[in-house]
Amino acid sequence: MKKPMKVVIIGGVAAGPKAASKIIRLMPNADVTIVEKGRLLSYAGCGLPYFVSGVVKEEKELMSTPVGVVRDPIFFRKVKNVHVLNETEAAEIDRAGKRVRIRSLADGKESWLNYDKLVLATGGTPVVPPIPNVRLKNIFTLTGVRDAEGIRAILAEEKARDVVIVGGGLIGVETTEALAYKGCRVTIVEMLPQVLNIFDWEMAELVEQHMESHGVKVLTGTKVVSFQGNGKVSRVATDRGELPADMVVMAVGVRPNVGLAKTAGLEIGSTGAIKVDEHMQTSDPDIYAAGDCVQSVDLLTGRPCFVPLGSTANKQGRVVAVNVCGGSDSFPGVLGSTVCKVFDFCVARTGLTETAAEKLGYEVTTALAPGPDRAHYMPGAAPLLLKLVVDRDTRKLLGAQAIGRGAGDKRIDVAAMAITAGMTVDQLANVDLCYAPPYSPAMDNIITAANVARNKLDGKMIGISSREVHRWMEAKKEFVLLDVRSAAEYEEVRLPGAVSIPLGMLRDRLGELPKDKEIVTFCTVSLRGYEAALILKAAGLKKVRVMDGGLTMWPYEKLPPH
């Protein structure tokens, strides 16, 4: 009788348990062992901010099946037929002997595990910069349940009124909401010029404004110099002054945990993560790797990238299992599709930003399309701001971003499919998407955005970004900023220096506009601005542009009437 295949999996959070479960489904007699350094298994790391806020009441909910069964060692043994050695460290890989040296964290005892196939799912390690006094008490990362428990304990004792979050990426932004929800005064300190650097500046600026409207202080372009306190943190010193802090959350980022792989002589990629092929196989044909410890391939550029996400880890874990069991599955790469919740905003993106695309040498056209996420007359209709990035030469979609209270996730999912399929905006504009008033406008937001891009590509609309308009204003350039909203809208809020001519009066008041100056038209979302531009062009005015996205996408100060 053939001996069962021995598979050792190092790492028991996302990719590891996924690989183990799939291996047993494909090969029920396999001898599968998970070695996990921590106490807890297969927990939803992405749910930690919601555990901190109390939306998720108990930690066991983060490691339970949809029917409420906790995924602990007993569950894996009885249900999955997988052996679990938790609170056990993998100390060494002996590739020649095909074995792993393990050490019990409880008693320090060591032993060897033999394997036929080895899977590395060692995850990532939070980046903790060498800032003076970074080891003071009440300074946390948020990459494990233990951190979340520590933060919750301090919040429960009401000892964290002022909280500083170092880093304005996804983890920092999601943690901000959780802490603000608990009544903390939160300050984000971000060294880069904007939060959420995976978005273009104007979209990130709108997120920043939204956080500030919820009482969060956002300091961009600011560097933490040191932490201060007697035993536990009490102040954060930055290059722009000091901040009070009862607690600090370090959310600078994650680096791949590759120490074990590197010591074993496995090839490390240019991103610093483990290099794998499309089958998730390392440079050793009997060792596979998946999750936050491996580098991926960018589907658009073909270049190596490091994008640690739980969704990616689970997909890669499944691919590993199929190939370990003799199949032939592959993981093609990623687009960096990401979504997070920022208070009541959905913030999502996929593919390339405008900035990234230009750095790669693309000639890009962008489209900004604000609008309600369902028929405007339906209760619950919410604003959604979409940005598309398009290759001007091929007209293919390169990237998309969505921000607002509306359902941005489904539009970004559509965009991700379109990019994966290599679709042009012309094809996207005619995709047969579902329509019913409770779910979308008759022309879905992403279809409208695609049509805006088509109009620009075809020369029917010449756009100008709000940033460029703002630069013109600061440089005191002579141009007409034409607001074609109604008089009532203009009275409610306006841009400095804007001339008000409602769209319905424009044809009768053409004589008021100079023919030798640049004219920039806009309205709330620039739909009327586009109509106005067409009227002006038909009347012979040549220097007409439409401000992309209108007043909704203006990330600077708006002025009420005097």
**Is the pTM value of this prediction over 0.85?**
yes
- For 389, 475, 478, 514, the CA distances from 521, given in Å and listed in that order, are 22, 19, 14, 14
Give per-residue pLDDT as tens, 178-232.
Answer: 899 888 999 999 999 999 999 999 999 999 999 999 999 999 999 999 999 999 9
Q: Are residues 273 and 349 in the same domain?
A: no
66 in the same domain as 14: yes
Measured CA to CA, the distance from residue 279 to residue 321 in angstroms comes to: 10
Backbone angles phi and psi of 166, in degrees to 5 = -95, 105
Q: Which two tokens stand for residue 404?
A: 């607002």
**Confidence check: pLDDT of 560 > 60:** yes
In a domain, 61, yes or no: yes
User: Is residue 405 located within the same domain as residue 501?
Assistant: no
Instruction: Select from 252, 282, 313 the last residue of a domain.
Output: 252
Residue 129 in domain: no
Helical pair 15-26 and 310-324, crossing angle rounded to 10 deg: 30
Whether pLDDT at 57 is above 90: no
Query: Does 182 share its domain with 268?
Result: no
Residue 499 belongs to what domain range? Answer: 463-553
Q: Does one domain contain both 111 and 17?
A: yes
Q: Residue 49's pLDDT is what?
A: 79
Positions annotated as catalytic residues are 46
User: 221, 252, 283: which is the final residue of a domain?
Assistant: 252
For residue 133, being part of any structural domain is answered with no
Q: At 154, is the pLDDT very low, low, confident or very high (cuts 50, 70, 90)?
A: confident
**Pick from 252, 278, 298: which residue ends a domain?**
252
| Rounded Cα gap, residues 339 and 469, in angstroms | 29
Domain-located, residue 337: no
Q: What was the pLDDT predicted at 42?
A: 67
Task: Mark whether 12 and 116 lie in a shared domain.
Answer: yes
Q: What is the pLDDT of residue 1?
A: 60
Residue 276 lies in a domain: yes
Measured from the Cβ of residue 73, the count of other Cβ atoms closer than 10 Å reads 18
Q: What is the pLDDT of residues 268-299, one digit of tens each?
A: 999 999 999 999 999 999 999 999 999 999 99
Q: How many domains are contained in the chain?
A: 4
- Do 299 and 206 lie in a common domain? no
CA distance 381 to 214: 21
Does residue 408 sit within a domain? Answer: yes
536: tokens are 């002006």
Q: How far apart are CA 448 and CA 428, in angstroms?
A: 10
| Span 103-127, average pLDDT | 95
Is the same domain home to 225 and 314? no
CATH number of the domain bearing residue 510: 3.40.250.10
**CATH number of the domain enclosing 357:** 3.30.390.30
**Residue 297 belongs to a domain with what CATH number?**
3.50.50.60
Q: Is the pLDDT of residue 490 over 90?
A: yes
Q: How many percent of the chain have pLDDT more than 90?
A: 80
Flag whether pLDDT at 135 surpasses 80. yes
Residue 15 shares a structural domain with residue 109? yes
Higher pLDDT, 380 or 52: 380
Kindly tell me if the per-residue pLDDT of 55 is higher than 90.
no
Q: Judge whether residue 3 has pLDDT over 90.
A: no
Give CA–CA dist 150/506, Å, rounded: 62
How far apart CA 28 and CA 7 sit, in angstroms, is 12
Q: Please, which residues have CB within 8 angstroms of residue 24's CB and are 6 or more apart in sequence?
A: 30, 32, 80, 81, 82
Which contiguous run of DSSP H or E holds residue 268?
A: none
Segment 128-150 shows an average pLDDT of 88
Is the residue at 336 inside a domain?
no
With beta carbons less than 8 A apart as the criterion, state whether 384 and 373 touch: yes
One domain for residues 90 and 117: yes
Question: What confidence score (pLDDT) does residue 561 get?
Answer: 62
Say whether both 115 and 264 belong to one domain. Answer: yes
In a domain, 332, yes or no: no
What's the distance, CA 295 to chain centroid? 17
Q: Are residues 10 and 120 in the same domain?
A: yes
